[in-house]
Amino acid sequence: MSTKKGVRGSILTFVADPFVVDSDKSYRYYEDGLVLLADGKIDKVGPYQDLDRLLNDDFEVLDYSGYLITAGCIDTHVHYPQTPMIAGYGEHLLEWLNEYTFPTELKLKDKAFATSVAKMFLKTTLKAGTTTSVVYGTVFKDSVDAFFEESERLGTRMLCGKVWMDRNAPDGLLDTPQSAYDDSKELIERWHNNGRQKYVVTPRFAPSCTGEQLQKAGELYREYPDVYIQTHLCENTGEIDWVKELFPEQKSYTDVYDHYGLVGERAVFGHCVHFNDDDFKTLSEKKAAISHCPTSNLFLGSGLFDLERSKTGKYPCLVGLGTDIGAGTSFCQLQTLNEAYKVSELLDHKMTAIKGYYLATLGGAESIYLDDKIGSITEGKEADMVAWDLHSTELIKYRMSFSKSLEENLFTQLVMGDDRSVRATMVNGEVVYDRDSGFYKEL
- DSSP string spanning 197-236? -EEEEEE--GGGS-HHHHHHHHHHHHHSTT-EEEEEES--
> What CA–CA distance (Å, rounded) separates 425 from 202?
28
Please check whether residue 119 lies inside any domain of the structure. yes
Q: Are residues 287 and 233 in the same domain?
A: yes
Q: Are residues 334 and 436 in the same domain?
A: no
In CATH, what number is assigned to the domain containing residue 425?
Answer: 2.30.40.10
Please check whether residue 364 lies inside any domain of the structure. no
Q: Residue 293 in contact with residue 343, Cβ under 8 Å?
A: no
Please check whether residue 333 lies inside any domain of the structure. yes
Q: What is the pTM of this model?
A: 0.97
What's the pLDDT score for residue 311?
A: 98
Q: Are residues 315 and 173 in the same domain?
A: yes
Please check whether residue 316 lies inside any domain of the structure. yes
> What CA–CA distance (Å, rounded) separates 340 from 307?
8
Q: Are residues 429 and 313 in the same domain?
A: no
Q: Are residues 290 and 346 in the same domain?
A: yes
Q: Helix axis angle, 211-223 relative to 177-191, nearest 10°?
A: 20
Confidence of residue 46 (pLDDT cuts 50, 70, 90): very high
Confidence of residue 403 (pLDDT cuts 50, 70, 90): very high
| Other residues' Cβ atoms within 10 Å of the Cβ of residue 63 | 11
Q: Are residues 151 and 260 in the same domain?
A: yes
In CATH, what number is assigned to the domain containing residue 130?
Answer: 3.20.20.140
Contacts of 416-420 with C-beta under 8 Å, sequence gap 24+, read 417/332, 417/334, 417/335, 417/388, 417/392, 418/330, 418/332, 418/334, 418/335, 418/392, 419/124, 419/127, 419/128, 419/129, 419/331, 419/332, 420/389, 420/392, 420/393
Q: Are residues 85 and 179 in the same domain?
A: yes
Q: Residue 208 in contact with residue 167, Cβ under 8 Å?
A: yes
| Other residues' Cβ atoms within 10 Å of the Cβ of residue 60 | 13
Q: Are residues 200 and 105 in the same domain?
A: yes
Please check whether residue 358 lies inside any domain of the structure. no
Domain-ending residue, one of 316, 336, 351: 351
Q: How many domains does the chain have?
A: 2
Please check whether residue 404 lies inside any domain of the structure. yes
Decide if pLDDT at 1 tops 80: no
Q: Are residues 88 and 103 in the same domain?
A: yes
Q: Which domain holds residue 172?
A: 73-351
What's the pLDDT score for residue 396?
A: 98
> What CA–CA distance (Å, rounded) separates 74 from 331?
11
Q: Are residues 224 and 157 in the same domain?
A: yes
> What CA–CA distance (Å, rounded) separates 238 from 228?
27
Q: Residue 200 in contact with residue 134, Cβ under 8 Å?
A: yes
Closest to 143 (Cα-Cα) out of 169, 117, 120: 117
Average pLDDT of the chain to the nearest whole number: 97
Please check whether residue 423 lies inside any domain of the structure. yes
Q: pLDDT of 207-252, one tens digit each?
A: 999 999 999 999 999 999 999 999 999 999 999 999 999 999 999 9
Give me the mean pLDDT over the 375-380 stretch: 98
Query: Within 13 Å, how many C-alpha atoms sit on residue 40's CB side?
Result: 12
> What CA–CA distance (Å, rounded) separates 425 from 384?
8
Give me the mean pLDDT over the 175-189 stretch: 98
Decide if pLDDT at 151 tops 60: yes
> What CA–CA distance (Å, rounded) separates 215 from 425?
40
Q: pLDDT of 74-95, one tens digit each?
A: 999 999 999 999 999 988 888 9
Q: Residue 18 in contact with residue 27, Cβ under 8 Å?
A: yes
Q: Are residues 188 and 254 in the same domain?
A: yes
Please check whether residue 129 lies inside any domain of the structure. yes
Give me the mean pLDDT over the 357-379 stretch: 98
What's the pLDDT score for residue 90?
A: 83
Q: Are residues 64 and 81 in the same domain?
A: no
